[in-house]
Amino acid sequence: MKPIQTMQLNSPHNSLLNYQLHGNGAPLVILHGLFGTLENWGSQIKALSEHFQVIAVDLRNHGRSPHTDDMNYALMVDDIINLLDDLGLDKVNLMGHSMGGKVAMQLALTHPERLNKLIVVDISPVAYEHHHKDVLKGLFSIDLAHIKSRTDADKQLGAYIPEPGIRAFLLKNLYRDENKQFQWRMNLPVLDKHYDDISAAPTGHPFNGKTLFIKGEESHYIQTDHRDGILALFPKATYKIIQGAGHWPHAEKPAIFTKILINFLQA
């Protein structure tokens, strides 16, 4: 099915989110992580759209959604609520990875009536220390006015980020504008300015709906000592650990990830 895209939302915050619709069935909203886009979920969207109506979203200041001066979880939740209202969806299943997982948790804690089931991918409801300093330094170091290719950008970014896979993920944000000059799709200055807001923990009343936390075995984002805090906010939480996966289990082990997700949603 050809995706439907829109840039029009009646949001009080003027956040005109970009999204795609695929498939039919019970609605499943998917949220990407920091520095990501809805395109990060490509293989899952294709597989999941055979069972559900998938709504993949570019969060504010990411992808093809508009750039705004503000960035925090309350605003991002408002963006998603306005999207649901615009689409006429009273209740949905909601899945988010990393930063998108925090958006999903915050929405569950403040608007539980809008959710059926919640899926949180490799993130906990805790405040994290700043661990993207090298990433941000590397991204700001790229001279967009003078690079001629993504290879040029990759060489500059390599001085800060040794892992080729992470560099490739970040450089998916590059595009050429109407003047054929490279630009970032993400709003890098605002992400840097509001990094503390992005690192913050979600807050609110416990969500009593069914919740699944999916952890990559080799990732350190969900830790054993987070368990009590998770259960305090999500008392019906269950857990799945994907062996051999890191922070991006949906990309690293897509078949296993999709099977776990479908089993949870159809149970």
DSSP readout, 67-85?
Answer: P-S---HHHHHHHHHHHHH
Token code pair at residue 12: 């009080």
Pairwise CA distance, residues 224 & 191, whole Å: 29
Which of 22, 62, 247, 250 is catalytic? The answer is 247
Which of 98, 124, 219, 250 is catalytic? The answer is 98
98 is catalytic: yes
Pairwise CA distance, residues 114 & 112, whole Å: 5
247 is catalytic: yes
CB 198 within 8 A of CB 191: yes
Pairwise CA distance, residues 36 & 53, whole Å: 21
Q: Is the dihedral of CA 38, 44, 45, 48 positive or negative?
A: negative
Catalytic residues: 98, 247
